[in-house]
Structure 1
Amino acid sequence: MTTQLTQGSDGNYRCSWCFSAPDFLQYHDNEWGYPVDNDFRLFEKLCLEGFQAGLSWRTILSKRENFREAFHDFNFNKVAHFNRKSIEQLITNKGIVRHRGKIEAVINNAKCAKEIVKSEGSLASFVWKYEPEDKVLAKPQSKSTSSESIALSKDLKKLGWKFVGPTTVYAFMQAMGLVNDHLEGCITRSKIQRARSNFIIP
């Protein structure tokens, strides 16, 4: 992502990356960075970031509805029961990224998510323990990992998760509101900050 601001047709400045693809503006203004405590949305984002590895977010976002249909809206209670036949069917699904390893990782991670819910009460309770203590980033969009994303990645891997490297996890943290990585001067930054201030940590 670029670390610059661009003025939109409405006269407001936003993070420049949101003007690089048609779907990005809506995503930037209404999703990226708002705090999330819904387990299925958190699981979805971890999975989609895993699918993005080696690809662009534009590719994944354009296929997101197809992914949701294929994986039962990322209800990990259902995905955990996918079997070999399910995998073979997904491999033939042209609407998603047909990468066997990544598909198998989603099913594996669904089982792991269920275990976290058993031990922590919710996936959200587990994930939000890794919110940085310093809630205001000194230089937004200046890095691709953080000490917190490294720690979360390490702990998820210990619990058996796959495709959850530090960079993948940091992108997840940016998107799910664990950090406010909108640039200073971006019209959405203050909205995110207010949402984070009102957010109750699970």
Structure 2
Amino acid sequence: MEKFNEIYQRAVARKGGEGMLQTLLSAPLSHAELQDLDDDMWLEEFTRKIFQSGFYWSVINNKWSGFREVFWDFNLAKLLMMSPEMLEQKACDERIVRNFKKVQTIPENAYMIHEVAEQHGSFSQFIAEWPTDDIIGLWAYLKKHGARLGGNTGPYTLRTLGKDTFLLSRDVESYLRAHKIIDGGLQTKKSLLAAQHFFNDLQQQSGYSLTSLSQLVAYGVGDNRVGVQAR
């Protein structure tokens, strides 16, 4: 298994030098910053990622102001009071992408966020306190208790809002398979544990966040464009 320095130096060479590489690395939010996020933000970003799945992201982003209008800026308190009849009406609104099955996830995930907040003070507090050396455990929680938050949907939401997490992008998956870290299905328990152990080991070697380590691995494989950020 490669050591951190080998991965880092390959990324340096491919991205045009250490200075350029450092500008491309992302930093997660601190514990304090995470717990200060409004819980409504989690529902909004879960919904955005659910709709982006299997769709052109640009189309969803271009319509997002319409989503926010239709769903009251993803206000949890209002959405939890929404009747099934009103949900059906909103699912037909031309301002959004009209996919009823995906629209149904909005009240379902609103309820999940509310339930967690009741137990932990806030959903953001719950996310902030989850240990990153078991980030796959948080992925599993979102998949089990949320609606359509399995696969990369939950992890990409976590990354977007600043929770420290690696991502199983195509480039990262390619690296893990090439180095025999995983050899079965990407989302099997065995593969997820192997990926977690790999990134935990890199973190102990380097002190870098899982976010940065995931990016460094990705920068070392696949198509390379100097100075272009990868996930």
Distance 1:90 1:44, change over 3 A: same
Q: Tell me the TM-score normalized by structure 1.
A: 0.62
1:1-202 mapped onto 2 (5 Å cutoff):
36=34, 37-130=37-130, 132-133=132-133, 148=135, 150-159=136-145, 161-179=146-164, 180=211
The percent identity for this pair of structures is: 24
| Structure 1 alignment gaps of length 5 or more | 7-12, 16-27, 134-146, 189-202
Shift of 1:109: 1.2
Whether the 8 Å contact between 1:5 and 1:183 is mirrored in structure 2 is no
Using the TM superposition, give the Cα deviation of residue 14 of structure 1 relative to its aligned residue in structure 2, in angstroms. 7.3
Q: TM-score, normalised by structure 2?
A: 0.55
Task: Give the Cα separation in 1 of the matches to 2:131 and 2:54.
Answer: 26
Q: 1:131-173: per-residue Cα shift (whole Å, max 9, x none)?
A: 624xxxxxxxxxxxxx62x4223213443x2110130011112
| Structure having the larger proportion of residues in helix | 2
Answer whether contact 2:49 2:156 (CA < 8 A) is retained.
Answer: yes
Question: What is the CA RMSD across the aligned residues, in angstroms?
Answer: 3.4
Q: List alignment gaps of at least 5 residues for structure 2.
A: 1-10, 17-21, 165-210, 217-225
**Is the CA contact (8 Å cut-off) linking 1:5 and 1:186 kept in structure 2?**
yes
Question: Structure 1 residues 33, 63: closer, same or farther in 2, change over 3 A?
Answer: farther
- Judging changes above 3 Å, is the alpha-carbon distance between structure 1 residues 119 and 128 closer, same or farther for their aligned structure 2 residues? same
Q: Name the amino acid aligned to 2:162.
A: G
Larger Rg belongs to: 2
Secondary structure of 1:166's match? coil
Partners of 2:47 and 2:228 in 1: CA distance:
29
Separation of aligned partners in 2, 1:83 and 1:58 = 30
Q: CA deviation at 1:52?
A: 1.5
